[in-house]
Each structure stands twice: as structure tokens, then as C-alpha cells.
Homo-oligomer: A and B are copies of this chain.
């Protein structure tokens, strides 16, 4: 699939420039809306030159998607079954929100892919992603059953975390249309803390 590890300095530089440019363009216009000309221009190359580094538009998109999925799943991977449940879940929420704030283009690229029916990412969703979610859902379920957090549906809890955190990146124009120039993230962090905190059962209440 991907070209074997880049050797020369030029390859490293140009591949990085292309991936950066492609992320920008794919995120902003979707797979079909993006053109190789535009990506090449943004990377400071000619189109055939770009195609010297990536066989095809498809291959380029795939390369980005692979990098992206690792980044995307990291915050959930960090959730620790041995940790304090509430802290672990709220920590996950915070990391995921930071991800949206610091990597909105990645979020939108991913959203685009899913919206179109995940033509390229579906195998990963049904394989790696499902396995990870099943594992962490079991952890949350155990926490819930042992009474360390209130009764929650772990799957819908995880979906909620995804939906809420990614919303601020994916629907940014809508958020900005309503909130103006105000930076929504400080407020969002406090709000999500409140929202999920309450849903997990107040620690004060449980005493």
C-alpha cells in the first residue's frame, strides 16, 4: 500500500508537505470536492510531482486516514481500568475535547468519511474500533455494576462523548454563527464536566 519508508531528506520533506496540504483540503471539501491540483498547489508542488509521491488520490487519502485513526483512538486507549472510574471517564472527555480543539481538521476529515458511509474506513471501524470500544465498554459496565459510578449504558455514554466533543470541531461554523467570536472551548469544558459528572452520579450524593 504505502511506499516503503522514505529514505532521502527530500522525500521526508515533500511527503510531510503533501500530507499537511491534503489534510487541509480534504477536511475542507471532502474527498470528491478535493482536487489533486489544489492539494499540490497547497503543498508547493506540481500535480504530477505529487503523484510521484502518492500513486493516486485514493492512496493519499488512505495514508492520511491511517495516521488519523491512531491519533483518534489514543484518548480512549488511555482510559485505565485500574484508575478511579469518575476521574477516568471525565479525563477521557477532557482529552477528547482537547483533540477536537487542537485537531479540528482531522475531526472534519473523519466526519466526512463517516458521513459518506465510511467507504474507506469501514474495515477499521468494524475491526479495531469495535474491539477497543467493546473492551472499554466492559470496563465501564463493571464500574457501574460495582456501584462505583451510577447506572449508565456504556455504549451510549461513549457515543455521547464522541458526539459532543467532535461537534465543536465538525459544526464549528454553526457554533460560531451563534456564539460569535467567543471561544467556545472554555465554556464547553466546564459544561461537559457538569453534564457527564451529573450523569455518572454525583459523588456527593453517593455518600
Question: Interface on A for B, CB 8 Å cutoff?
Answer: 28-33, 108, 111-112, 114-118, 122, 125-126, 129-130, 133-134, 152-153, 155-157, 159-160, 162-164, 166-168, 170-171, 173-175, 177-179, 184, 187-188, 190-192, 194-195, 198-199, 201, 205
Q: Closest residue to A182 on the B side, CB-wise?
A: B155
Which 10 interchain pairs have the tightest Cβ spacing?
A: A163-B167, A156-B191, A125-B177, A198-B198, A32-B33, A163-B163, A126-B177, A32-B32, A195-B199, A118-B173
Interface of A is mostly: helix
Q: Is the CB–CB distance between A117 and B160 below 8 Å?
A: no
Chain B residues with Cβ under 8 A from A179's Cβ? 155
Chain B residues with Cβ under 8 A from A111's Cβ? 111, 115, 170-171
